[in-house]
Amino acid sequence: MSDKTPDATPDKALDKTFDFKDAEARLYEAWEASGAFKPSRTGEPFTIVIPPPNVTGSLHMGHALNNTLQDILCRFERMRGKSVLWQPGTDHAGIATQMVVERQLANEGANQDRRSMGREAFVERVWKWRHESGGQIINQLKRLGASCDWSRERFTMGEDGSADDQMVKAVMKVFVQLYKEGLIYRDKRLVNWDPKFETAISDLEVENKEVDGHFWHFKYPLENGETYEFPTAYDEEGEPTEWETRDYISIATTRPETMLGDGAVAVHPDDKRYAPIVGKKCLLPLADRYIPIITDDYPDPDFGSGAVKITGAHDFNDYQVARRNDIPMYPLFDTKAVMLEDDYIPERYRGMDRYEAREAVVQDIKERGLLIAVEDKKIMQPFGDRSGVVIEPMLTDQWYVDAETLAKPAIHAVETGKTKFVPENWTKTYYQWMKNIEPWCISRQLWWGHRIPAWYGPDGHVFVAENEDEATKEAIQKYTAEGYSLEEINDMRRHEHDGAPLLVQDEDVLDTWFSSALWPFSTLGWPEETPELKKHYPTSVLVTAFDIIFFWVARMMMQGVHFMKEVPFHTVYIHALVLDEHGQKMSKSKGNVIDPLVLIDKFGADALRFTLAAQAAQGRNIRLSEARVEGYRNFSTKLWNAARFCEMNECKPDPDFDPAKATLTLNQWIIHEANQCAADVTREIEAYRFNDAAGAIYRFIWSVFCDWYLELAKPVMQGADGAEKTETRAAAAWALDRILQLLHPFMPFVTEEIWNSFADRDALMLSQWPSFDKTLKNDAAAAEMSWVVDLITAVRSVRQEMNVPVAAKIPLVFVGASADDKTKLSAHEDVLMRLARLSDITAADAAPKGAVQIVHGGAVAALPVADFIDIAAEKARLAKEKEKAEKEIAGIDKKLANKKFVEKAPAEVVEEQHSRRAGYVEQLEKLEAALTRLADL
């Protein structure tokens, strides 16, 4: 790998503006061609595995944030001399990819779907799509500047999905080993069922939405016409005062069709209203069977009637109640959510769609006189995030992982500090979820994915092996041991036709999360013991969003600890969400989605990256607006202009320049500040405080280097040649180099372009990261220049507050100046007069009449402004501005005092009001100070 960046920049001086559209593609291609993204042969390993985006995906703002933060870490550690591997790849995204290809087939109009094609042909078609169209997001990540080692790109299903592919072998080995250890098994449990795709889906693929719905209140008559006294009125102490005789129990449901699968009615054991009928039975209307009335802690006596119908086969809470109380479960629907033909379902409803059945059930209940009321109500309903249809909880046979057993050592690993979470509060969330973990459903009724390595014999016996040949060997051994001859075994066929297999493979595929849970070690060559695995596992840090901490992070922890006997990563950094500028989650339905590629096209990748990093405060969501990105594009422009100023003033890197030997206070100061900035940025990146790191380099570049140092250095640079000019040029170039290095992880393109324009040298991204050098610390120079800068700032502030004409030059009288003050005034007189627009600077024992006084250090700086302004007019202007600010504050206070507004308004709106108030309060304080100054004139 060469440290050079070949053809990285045109052989010419910096253009007037930075053409990011040309530079980004050119620089990225040069970096990649030079091998700059590959791990170095030497150095301590630093490894990050990319959260693999779906192969169907395109770059969204969450990806942009996640990968920007990873790239900052990788570029930072690479410059610190570490052997950095940022392992890239994509996820095969079972349901999403299958949906894309099925849609493609439908659009082709050939009247062909996957079932008419057959499994083998369909899977082949998906692979064709993957190779032709599946790399879009990789190219988009490159546009962001992601410095992944693309030569090591991996796909969760391997290169072609064949049994001998290393990525496939890893998945098969894990499944088989877990099965043999009793940690994978078949079970009938409740799952999220998508009737459109006809498969189980994970919780992450379920989107709960609030919709307009209904509560239907039904009567379930008591067995044998029994009655009881039900309280209908209560006194102040909650004791019943009135009763009515009832021969039924009232239940409420949002899904009437599921009543046909009820196995019981439950009430809370402390609910005295139902005490007389607990243990008795009630008639399940329409199904005409009796079900028990039981007690359980699940029903809430204060919600509805306090009685809950228990439909164990179609509700997650009911399922738990049914299991605890040994209540029978009655599945109602087939894979398309159509009513089954089973005997316990009345014949009238069999074959009906669930919503058709709902209407029929309600109508029939009404005709029987058992409908009490219909209540309009907002309800939460689960939808498939890709299918868009209502998800049905379904009792099905699936493959499961014993997550509880695997979770224990993964919990212990965090408890003992082997893996830490940043921010630390996510540790508690991790424990809560892991300690209450449910069995993990790993089977999906799809065709695209890792097919489950289980084969069934003619007698239904299951053989789990890494491939069919091994499964067949196991089957022959089993049947031989049972006394069958080879000829009899060969005659064992599930089908009568010749050539039918001895074994038939399970139709299901594995949950996508199963293969991605192996990502930290499968991508490094496992199950082979490769040099990469030895060097780069465990990985250093995982950067991910909080919404997949359970689905991915926890499962990688479980599988990593179990199979590698080590945690998969030492640190897990959890970042927040990217919201719109109003604090709303982005969604297509709201029309507030911000496309990162549009912003990159408009403002450049650097501006977007810095915007995201600058707002990436731990534990706080990011509010993104185009205006912010434009603002940081302006920051990039400011740096570019500063570099052009240095170039025009012949500030070139001087290998003989020793910053520790600088003699001018001005240069000692900028060297001190750059040195301190390096310490600050390093400390904040190491602590994953990306916003603070970005803030530190931003302030140094904008407020110190550009606004002050270059302005203060102008007279020296543009003056006569000599030692001071030579030193200042070299110091400016040295400071600019430190800026480019410290900013590079955040803004890689503009920094590399500037770096390459100043000298023929190694690539910036492979240069040495600036470390804090105590020999460059110069508190005296820093204090002196701060004295100068603060004085100029104070004078400018007074001029602005007093509305002194810009062209007017005013005198400055220093009262009570010490010898040190006088020395500094003399040394910096030219700068003070030029930048503060002063006519002269004098020292006196008392302030002149009509002067505004500023306390500066141990002295007073007096500015006689009375002759330059209309005092009466200024007092009137400031008083009017003060009145306006007070009215604004009063209006906001009135709004915030309104409890209804605070309770009902979105949080971001309330926060905006507080922010506006703070701004007006600050403005008011300045106005009052200015009026006080005028009163003293």
**What's the pLDDT tens digit per position in 163-190?**
889 999 999 999 999 999 999 999 999 9
Over residues 226-277, the pLDDT tens digits come to 999 999 999 988 889 999 999 999 999 999 999 999 999 999 999 999 999 9
C-alpha distances out from residue 114 to 110, 134, 197, 791, Å: 12, 19, 12, 76
**Whole-number Å distance between alpha carbons of 562 and 550:** 17
9: confidence class by pLDDT, cuts 50, 70, 90: very low
Q: Tell me the per-residue pLDDT of 429-439, one tens digit each, with 9 for 90 and over.
A: 999 999 999 99
pLDDT per residue over 876-888, tens digit each? 777 887 888 889 9
If one compares 859 and 219, the residue with the highest pLDDT of the two is: 219
Which residue is it, tokens 């809370």?
A: 268
Torsion angle of C-alpha atoms 922, 924, 930, 936, degrees rounded to 10: -120
- Domain topology for 598-777: Isoleucyl-tRNA Synthetase; Domain 1 (1.10.730)
Please tell me what DSSP assigns to residue 841: E
Quick one: CA torsion of 512, 513, 516, 522, rounded to 10 degrees? -90
Tell me if 209-380 shares its fold with 598-777: no
CA distance 51 to 520: 10
CA-CA distances (angstroms) from residue 101 to 96, 123, 383, 387?
9, 10, 22, 14
Cβ(788)–Cβ(832) below 8 Å? yes
Percent of the chain beyond pLDDT 70? 97
E strands within 358-415? 371-384, 392-401
Burial (CB < 10 A; 0-12, 13-18, 19+), residue 719, is: exposed
pLDDT in tens, 642-669: 999 999 999 999 999 999 999 999 999 9
pLDDT > 80? residue 869:
no
Residue 134 neighbours by CB under 8 Å, 6+ apart? 55, 56, 90
Measured between alpha carbons, how far is 206 from 517 in angstroms, rounded to an integer? 20
Instruction: Report whether 580 contacts 594 (CB < 8 A).
Output: yes
21 marked among binding-site residues: no
Q: In 3D, which of 787, 788, 756 has the Cα closest to residue 5?
A: 756
- d(Cα 781, Cα 676) in Å, to the nearest integer? 13
Q: Tokens 């008639």 correspond to what residue?
A: 283
For residue 6, pLDDT beyond 60: no
pLDDT score of 502 more than 90: no
At residue 901, the pLDDT reads 86
Residue 488 has pLDDT above 70, yes or no: yes
Q: Look at residue 9 and give its three-state secondary structure.
A: coil
Indicate the domain borders of the chain. 209-380, 598-777, 784-869, 873-935
Q: 1: pLDDT confidence band, cut at 50, 70 and 90?
A: very low
pLDDT of residue 607: 98
Amino acid 501: pLDDT:
79
How much is the pLDDT for 486?
76
SS3 434: helix
pLDDT band for position 10 (cuts 50, 70, 90):
very low
Gap between the Cα atoms of 851 and 860, Å rounded: 11
Q: Tell me: pLDDT of 11 over 80.
A: no
Count of C-beta atoms within a 10 Å radius of residue 539: 25
198-223, pLDDT tens digit by residue? Answer: 999 998 899 999 999 999 999 999 99
Q: Is the pLDDT of residue 2 over 60?
A: no
| Structure tokens given for 529 | 């013991």
CATH code given to domain 873-935? 1.10.287
Q: What is the mean pLDDT of residues 309-313?
A: 97
Containing H/E element for 14? none
- Judged against a pLDDT cut of 90, whether residue 859 lies above it is answered with no
Q: Using a CB cutoff of 8 Å and minimum separation of 24, what contacts does 35-38 make?
A: 35/1, 35/2, 36/1, 36/5, 36/147, 36/763, 36/765, 36/766, 37/86, 37/147, 37/148, 37/149, 37/150, 38/1, 38/149, 38/151
pLDDT at residue 377 is higher than 80: yes
Q: Which pLDDT does position 28 carry in this prediction?
A: 98
Judged against a pLDDT cut of 80, whether residue 507 lies above it is answered with yes
Q: What is the mean pLDDT of residues 621-632?
A: 94
pLDDT over 90 at 133, yes or no: no
Q: Please, what is the average pLDDT of the chain?
A: 92
Distance CA 447, CA 449 (A): 6
Q: Is the dihedral of CA 291, 292, 298, 302 positive or negative?
A: positive
Helix (H, G, I), strand (E, B) or coil at 379: strand
Interatomic CA distance for residues 101 and 123, integer angstroms? 10
Q: How far is CA 633 from CA 24, 574, 603, 607, 772, in A?
A: 14, 27, 6, 5, 29
User: How confident is the model over 19-48, as pLDDT tens digits?
Assistant: 999 999 999 999 999 999 999 999 999 999
- Cis previous bond, 423, omega within 30: yes
Number of C-alpha atoms within 13 angstroms, CB side, residue 842? 12
Higher pLDDT, 915 or 664: 664
User: Could you count the other beta carbons within 10 Å of the beta carbon of residue 376?
Assistant: 8
- State pLDDT tens for residues 668-726: 999 999 999 999 999 999 999 999 999 999 999 999 999 999 999 999 999 888 999 99
**pLDDT surpasses 70 at 111:** no
Look at residue 68 and tell me whether its pLDDT is greater than 90. Answer: yes
pLDDT value at residue 312: 97
pLDDT surpassing 60 at residue 629? yes
Q: Report in angstroms the alpha-carbon separations of 496 from 458, 460, 471, 769.
A: 12, 16, 21, 72
For domain 209-380, give the CATH superfamily: Valyl/Leucyl/Isoleucyl-tRNA synthetase, editing domain (3.90.740.10)
Tokens 């059930």 appear where? Answer: 361
pLDDT of residue 12: 66
Angle at 811 between CA 807 and CA 812, to 5 degrees: 125
